[in-house]
Every structure is written in C-alpha cells, then in structure tokens.
Chain A
Amino acid sequence: MQSLSLNKRAAILSVVLLAVFLGAWEISVTRQVIGEALTEYEILMGLGQQRAAVPPPSDVFIKAWEQLSDPFYDAGPNDKGIGIQLAYSIYRVLSGFGLAVLVALPLGFLIGMSPVAYKALNPFIQVLRPISPLAWMPLALFIIQDANASAVFVIFICSIWPMLLNTAFGVAGVRADWVNVARTHELGSLRTALTVILPAAAPTILTGMRISIGIAWLVIVAAEMLVGGTGIGYYVWNEWNNLDLTSVIFSILMIGVVGMLLDAFFAALQRAVTYAE
C-alpha cells in the first residue's frame, strides 16, 4: 500500500466505501421487502396495493441504463427523457444566471468604484439579499403571468447577490498602484475598467459566480416543483406522484452530477483568471 500514490489510495478507498454503501443498501432493502408487513403509514395512505418500497440500487442502475441510453425521447407532456428535462432546467438556470451577470457586473463595478453608490445601495441589498428566492414566486407569477419566465426570474434574483457583492468587493480591492498604471497611460474609464480592473477583480468575481451558479442549481429544482410542466424539479415531483422511487433516486443522482459539472466549469474558469502576485 505504501508504494501507491496518495491519489490511488484515495480512489481505492472511495470505491470500497461505495461498494459497502451499495451492498448495505441492497441487502437492507431486499430484507425489508421480504420481511415487513405494510406500515401504518402505507395503510393510511392506501398505498398497500402498489407496494411503494425503496428500490434496491440494482433497480436504480437498470433505470439509469434505460434512461441514459435514450435520454432525449419525448412521449407527451408527462413522459420525456431525462436529457430533455435536464436541458430545460439548465436552460432556465443559464438564462436567469446570464441576466444576473448582465445586471450584477455593471452594478458591482459602480458600487465598487463609488463609495456614494455603495452607501446608497447597500441598505436595499441588505434587505433583499436574505429573502428566500422562492418567496418571490407568487409575485413573479402574478406580474409576469408566465410560469417559465417566473422560474427564470427566481433564478435571476437568487444568483444576483453573490455576484453583485463579490464584484463590488473585488473592484473596490483593486490595488491603487494598478489603477495608477492605467492613469499614467491615459486610459479612459472604460478601458481602465476592461483592461485593468476587470482582470484584477476577475478571481473574486468568479468566486461570486461560482457561488451563484451553485445556489441557482439548488433553487431551480424547488422552483420547477412549484411551476411544473418541465424540468428536472418537475420530473422528480412527477415521479414521486407516480410512486416511481427508482426514477426519483435516479434523478436525484443526475441533479448531483449536473450540479457538479456546473461547478467544475466555473472552477476551471476561475483557475484560468487567477493570477499570482
């Protein structure tokens, strides 16, 4: 063992942990199905006949195989492939996030560069920031009158704050020396902002974006459960209503995987703009 590298040992440990976990799950679920009578809850809910039990991991694998071998089929509003559902969610997250970028970056620059703007806007930010994004949903639905746009709005409102604050913080923290370099080269405000302040603040700004995209992906699931129609959140809820727990577990896994990929993407961007002083 000592001769193996740290990474290899960690990988072996991960695989072992996964195997133990899946094994324990498989065994406990199989026993439960064989050995247990209906619980009181099941009787109350009238679920006895349908036997909604936690599926074993093997079922989940089979489901995953089925779904992933044809992720984009479309057989009506309640039966779409996982790929289509995820694409809807990603599309909403990216639209809301993109709008938030368009607002948060310029506003963050303004707040970061002007102490007056900071002082004037800070009270609003402090009040709006702690509001759960879902609390906006009824208002959004009423005003926008469109479920899809409302979901996008909720994503917008939840991803704007970390970006706004990080941009302002990053911009305000740009070393005066670097700004002086721009000044001695007679750069105008726009060129200074783009060629000096933006690259200098980029690592901080991307930290904000990474936090935002994480929050947006958390929120989209809940938002889609509310607005329904399409998306991975709706899919989870729909499968729960169908008592298809296998699909529920499978989609939970997919939510995790996509979230991880989004984060990895922004982590890579962040690495690309980070500089050593």
Chain B
Amino acid sequence: MKKNFLSIERLTQTFPDGAGGTLTVFENASFGIDKGEFVCILGHSGCGKSTIMNVLAGLSEPTSGVVKMDGVAVSGPSLDRGVVFQNYSLLPWLSALKNVTFGIKARYRNWSRDKVIEHATRYLAMVGLEGDVIHRKPSQLSGGMRQRVSIARAFANQPKLLLLDEPFGALDALTRGTIQEELLKVWSQTEQTVFMITHDIDEAILLADRILLMTNGPFARVAESVEITIPRPRVRTDIVTHPNYYAIRNHLVQFLGKRSKELAGQRSDGESQSPDPVRIDLTEPAPEPEPDLVRAQLKAVNS
C-alpha cells in the first residue's frame, strides 16, 4: 500500500453503553487520504462519523489505533488540522472579523496587527463577507453568514488538513449552494486536504474526489471508497447531465438504503478493515461485461 498523506490505521472506538457493557462504534477501521484530496464521508446518523472526525482532529483519543499525518502519529489537536464544527462554534463575544483574527493570531504569532487584519479580511471576502457585516457579532449574522465566518476562520489558518462536520447541515438549499461553491473556490485556490462529513448525497458528489461510505453501527465499517469520476470544475447544474452522475448517485443511494444495513454489525475478527475501492465510469469503454453481475458498470480497482 502506498504512503498516504493521512493514514488511519486500525482505529477502534468503544464507549461504555450505559448498561455496564461496551458499545463498539467501529473496529480496526483503516483508510487513507491523499494530499490535496477532497473526501466526503456518508453514513447513517449515529454510525460514528463525528467520532472519527474528533479523533482526526485530535480532540478525542481513540480506544486503539493510530492516525498518522505525513507519517507522524497525531496526538492532541494541532493548528495543522483546522476544524469547522457542526454548530459553527464561533465565539459569540467577538465580531466576525475578530473570530477570524483569533485563529490567525494563534497561528502566526509574530504577524503585525495590520497584517493579521488584512489576512482575515481577505479570507472573509473569499467567502463573500465584506463591508459592515464583518464587524457584527455572530448573533447578528444569519446562519449562513456564521457558517461562512467559521469556514473563513479555518481556511485563513491554512491548515494542512481541513475537517468539516456537516458544515451545511442547518442551511437552506440556496445558501447551501452558494457556500458550497465558495468552499470549492477556496479549496481549489489553496490545495488543502479536506475531510468532510455530510448527509447530502448530491453535495458529496459535487464536492468530493472520493466518497467514503459507512455501514450502520455498532461495529460500523468504512465499507467502500467511491471515486467521483466527474471532471472539475464542477457546476451544480452541469454535473447532473454528466453520464456518470446518476450511476454514482444510484450506487450511493443503494448503499445507504440497503447495503449499509446488510453489512452492519460485522465484527472485524482482528482484521484490519479497509474500504473497497469502487470506480464507476460510463465514459470509459466498459470492460468485458459480466452478465451475472448486477452492477455491471462498476469496476472495482484494488490498489
């Protein structure tokens, strides 16, 4: 297996289940993420996505297993791993601008005041926040604006890895669309690695290079890694007409609707559990058709 930028090795997380026993959220989960990759993770509520992300962020310790970034084991939170929390987590006593400068000052301790403000303003502008609004407190901003401040705070620190936990969960479709585009724009300009949790299949297809699919818990698995074979730059209205779009979407829906349950609850028996790579590409000439395979167009590539 080749060396990944981020590698998750045999991660296991158990919690006390409240009845004296233990709840195994996932066992021996292993997967990797390449540098500059945008990876989304999809799975049903409660399967353990946030738990994985908290471990990646270094905010919680796994029961066993290691996370390595650039070959070095992660311990504790770090400025190299920026987090956009599900509920924005802006500091309510600071203005939008100060929330961003808060992060920058922590990252670049020797920068001058002017430089910090200039940098913060640039990133806020990048997510479409300019003028008076940046001096407002979070309570005076709309949900979408708060989310953008939170994204600007994370991006302004130029972390090597960005972790986003359902960042658009609470937004209406229109705002969501705008921010998704802004996120893509910022990401393409900065070449950061992104790991994002979402519940929205279309969002995942629009944004991701690869989608990790999780089965239901307990004993959840990262069962598949689906490559999104739609070229960038992607525009929401255009990608739906791409031949691969519905094939990929159907595959994801099938997984979440049926197979996530069928595959649930399988113990690892001590084996390292890596996702099966799945590549769906209708634009390539199909390989030898295998009639007994239902998913005839799927091509599993083992790397």
Residues on A close to B: CB < 8 A?
Answer: 177-178, 180-181, 183-187, 195-196, 199-200, 202, 273, 275-277
Asked whether, in the complex, the Cβ of B91 is within 8 Å of the Cβ of A199, the reply is yes
Asked whether, in the complex, the Cβ of B89 is within 8 Å of the Cβ of A186, the reply is no
Q: What residues on B are CB-neighbors of A187 within 8 Å?
A: 106
- A185-B79, A186-B78, A186-B106 given; A180·B89 CB < 8 A: yes
Asked whether, in the complex, the Cβ of B107 is within 8 Å of the Cβ of A185, the reply is yes
Asked whether, in the complex, the Cβ of A185 is within 8 Å of the Cβ of B85, the reply is no
Give Cα distance in the complex from A180 to B60, angstroms. 10
Give Cα distance in the complex from A199 to B139, angstroms. 16
Asked whether, in the complex, the Cβ of B77 is within 8 Å of the Cβ of A186, the reply is yes
Asked whether, in the complex, the Cβ of B83 is within 8 Å of the Cβ of A184, the reply is yes
* B103, CB-defined interface residue at 8 Å: yes
* B57, CB-defined interface residue at 8 Å: yes
Asked whether, in the complex, the Cβ of B89 is within 8 Å of the Cβ of A277, the reply is no
Closest to B86 in A: A177
7 CB contacts below 8 A, A to B, read A178-B89, A180-B83, A184-B57, A184-B77, A186-B77, A275-B137, A277-B92
- The smallest beta-carbon distance between B136 and chain A, in angstroms, is 11
Question: Which residues of chain B from 74 to 89 have a CB within 8 Å of any chain A CB?
Answer: 76-79, 81-83, 85, 87, 89
Asked whether, in the complex, the Cβ of B92 is within 8 Å of the Cβ of A276, the reply is yes
- A186-B106, A187-B106 given; A181·B89 CB < 8 A: yes
Q: What residues on A are CB-neighbors of B78 within 8 Å?
A: 184, 186
Give Cα distance in the complex from A195 to B106, angstroms. 11
- The smallest beta-carbon distance between B46 and chain A, in angstroms, is 20
Asked whether, in the complex, the Cβ of B139 is within 8 Å of the Cβ of A180, the reply is no
Closest to A199 in B: B93
Residues on B close to A: CB < 8 A?
Answer: 57-59, 76-79, 81-83, 85, 87, 89, 91-94, 102-103, 106-107, 137-140, 157
Asked whether, in the complex, the Cβ of A200 is within 8 Å of the Cβ of B89, the reply is no
- The smallest beta-carbon distance between B251 and chain A, in angstroms, is 34
Contacting residue for B81 out of A177, A184, A195, A277, CB 8 A: A184
Q: What residues on A are CB-neighbors of B138 within 8 Å?
A: 277
Q: What residues on B are CB-neighbors of A195 within 8 Å?
A: 102
Give Cα distance in the complex from A201 to B106, angstroms. 21
Given A180-B83, A184-B78, 4 more A-B residue pairs with CB atoms under 8 Å apart are A184-B82, A275-B92, A275-B139, A277-B138
Give Cα distance in the complex from A276 to B102, angstroms. 19
- The smallest beta-carbon distance between B192 and chain A, in angstroms, is 15
Q: What residues on A are CB-neighbors of B157 within 8 Å?
A: 185
Would you call the interface of chain A mostly helix, strand, loop, or mixed?
A: helix
- How many cross-chain pairs have Cβ atoms below 8 Å apart between A and B? 57
Give Cα distance in the complex from A180 to B79, angstroms. 12
- A178-B89, A275-B93 given; A185·B139 CB < 8 A: no
Give Cα distance in the complex from A188 to B57, angstroms. 17
- A199-B93, A275-B139 given; A177·B85 CB < 8 A: yes
- A186-B79, A186-B106, A276-B137 given; A181·B93 CB < 8 A: no
Asked whether, in the complex, the Cβ of A180 is within 8 Å of the Cβ of B59, the reply is yes
Asked whether, in the complex, the Cβ of A183 is within 8 Å of the Cβ of B139, the reply is no
Asked whether, in the complex, the Cβ of A177 is within 8 Å of the Cβ of B87, the reply is yes
Contacting residue for A183 out of B77, B102, B137, CB 8 A: B77
Asked whether, in the complex, the Cβ of A178 is within 8 Å of the Cβ of B139, the reply is no
Contacting residue for B93 out of A177, A183, A273, CB 8 A: A273
Q: What residues on A are CB-neighbors of B91 within 8 Å?
A: 178, 181, 196, 199-200
- The smallest beta-carbon distance between B131 and chain A, in angstroms, is 21
- The smallest beta-carbon distance between A177 and chain B, in angstroms, is 4
Give Cα distance in the complex from A183 to B103, angstroms. 11
Give Cα distance in the complex from A181 to B84, angstroms. 9
Closest to A195 in B: B102
Give Cα distance in the complex from A202 to B78, angstroms. 27
Q: What residues on B are CB-neighbors of A273 within 8 Å?
A: 93
Closest to A274 in B: B93
Q: What residues on A are CB-neighbors of B87 within 8 Å?
A: 177
Q: What residues on A are CB-neighbors of B140 within 8 Å?
A: 276
Q: What residues on A are CB-neighbors of B137 within 8 Å?
A: 275-276
Q: Which 7 A-B pairs have the closest CB atoms?
A: A276-B139, A185-B106, A275-B93, A177-B89, A183-B77, A184-B77, A275-B92
Q: What residues on A are CB-neighbors of B85 within 8 Å?
A: 177, 180-181
Closest to A187 in B: B106
Asked whether, in the complex, the Cβ of A277 is within 8 Å of the Cβ of B107, the reply is no
- The smallest beta-carbon distance between A196 and chain B, in angstroms, is 7
Give Cα distance in the complex from A273 to B91, angstroms. 13
Closest to B89 in A: A177
Asked whether, in the complex, the Cβ of B92 is within 8 Å of the Cβ of A184, the reply is no
Give Cα distance in the complex from A275 to B93, angstroms. 5
Give Cα distance in the complex from A186 to B139, angstroms. 26
- The smallest beta-carbon distance between A30 and chain B, in angstroms, is 57
Asked whether, in the complex, the Cβ of B92 is within 8 Å of the Cβ of A183, the reply is no
Give Cα distance in the complex from A177 to B165, angstroms. 13
Asked whether, in the complex, the Cβ of A183 is within 8 Å of the Cβ of B59, the reply is yes
- A177-B87, A177-B89, A277-B139 given; A185·B102 CB < 8 A: yes
Q: What residues on B are CB-neighbors of A181 within 8 Å?
A: 85, 89, 91
Give Cα distance in the complex from A42 to B261, angstroms. 94
Q: What residues on B are CB-neighbors of A177 within 8 Å?
A: 85, 87, 89
Give Cα distance in the complex from A72 to B78, angstroms. 60
